[in-house]
Structure 1
């Protein structure tokens, strides 16, 4: 169960967020300092307790995915900001197929990142021109997070060790 419940919304500690998303606590700390995700902070009690909402967990899961496919931190952060600008995290439960099947194009120097709806012909064209093309499936990341939350709520202690689909 989540550590904090406010008006029906669950919030998770850094340790819980780490277990649920597969991010290390050190990553979470670094990402907080870099402004990747700014969790809710409870100033009460001893020290400073940091709590993440479910939407924060989705942002963490996306960042973890982008880094895991080989993008560097700056490019991953740029891609994440593009996704956030398009408000894709606010309506995860009501995504259309066009919103879940996307692709990123990177400039040859990785300085520019563009997001488009997935299109096989456009992807082929960009690949033939020498541009990196990265398919991005929002729904798969969301579904994996929901599965991890389910296992977490059922009391599984090490979600990251179970097989991911």
Structure 2
């Protein structure tokens, strides 16, 4: 669903002037952007979430330039933060040495230390922003625009169907976390929507009860698929997997994948010198388990 500027302003609480200014400055660009007079712009759900983040940050007392800086930090730290399933909580503080803004995961001890030191502390809780946005969206009907160049959510759902087929073909049993699973019987399971400290992974790959891999799924569009950006998101999930099998520079799941259902990319996190490579197929459960026991130089 897509929303006009007036609808976006009503949903997010931003003014039309703010939307126009941020659009002109490329702070929050609508998915469908008017390039000439008399044409309508349309915002999608991701755009609305970014607008609400800006609105929240300004409401905490940050200046405009600071709010923009934090929004860009958030985009870099968690590219998929607009996903309603993301429940990450952050705080914004300031580096006491160079005064640069810092965005870090919420930690009560860090908050208390910053407050005692008289430093800036700004909460940014994505779960609350998503909750507020979802309530607003329930009361607002948008516009269907199936012919635009930006694929809607169903395109990503289509990609996941293809990924399911790829994983099943090499021996993975696809199960949904939402439907519930026997957590003591994860012999060769690809668990959808697996919850981690940094969000929900599209797929978590378990072999013999060991969390060995994470798959980040993107919409089925080869032209716009950015495997490296998707792998960055998988890296964040790896860092939030406290039930992982090890710790390699903070990464707790060693094998990461990104896929749009057609292309598959793989990254071994055990060595920081490893680079992503394209695969024809996902690893089988047995191959992934054996890869864990190999030296990274041989993998």
Identify the TM-score tier after normalising by the shorter chain: 0.7 to 0.9
Q: 1:27 aligns with which of 18, 42, 59?
A: 18
Match for residue 118 of structure 1?
Answer: 106
Over 3 Å counting, the alpha-carbon distance change for 1:150 and 1:79 in structure 2 is same
Deviation at residue 89 of structure 1 after TM alignment? 3.8
1:39-67, Cα deviation, whole Å (9 max, x unpaired): 13366997221111110000001100100
- Offset at residue 31 of structure 1 (A): 0.6
Mapped partners of 1:63, 1:109: distance in 2: 26
1:14 has 2:14 as partner: no
Partner of 1:49: 40
* Structure 1: tracts of 5 or more residues without a match: 1-9, 155-165
- Residue in structure 2 matched with residue 36 of structure 1 by the alignment: 27
Deviations 1:10-57 (A, max 9, x none): 111101111111111011001111111111336699722111111000
Partner of 1:76: 67
Q: Is the 8 A contact 1:75 1:110 kept in 2?
A: no
Give structure 2 stretches of 5+ with no counterpart: 143-299
Bigger Rg, which one: 2
Query: 1:102 offset after TM fit, Å?
Result: 1.3
> What is the TM-score with the length of structure 1 in the denominator?
0.76
* Matching residue of 1:62: 53
Q: Runs of 4+ in structure 1 displaced over 4 angstroms?
A: 42-46, 107-111
Change (3 A) 1:112 1:48: same
In the other structure, the counterpart of 1:141 is: 129
Contact 2:49 2:82 in 1 (8 A): no
The equivalences for 1:126-137 within 5 A come to: 126-137=114-125
Q: Is the 8 A contact 2:74 2:81 kept in 1?
A: no
Cα gap change, 1:42 to 1:63, in 2 (>3 Å): closer
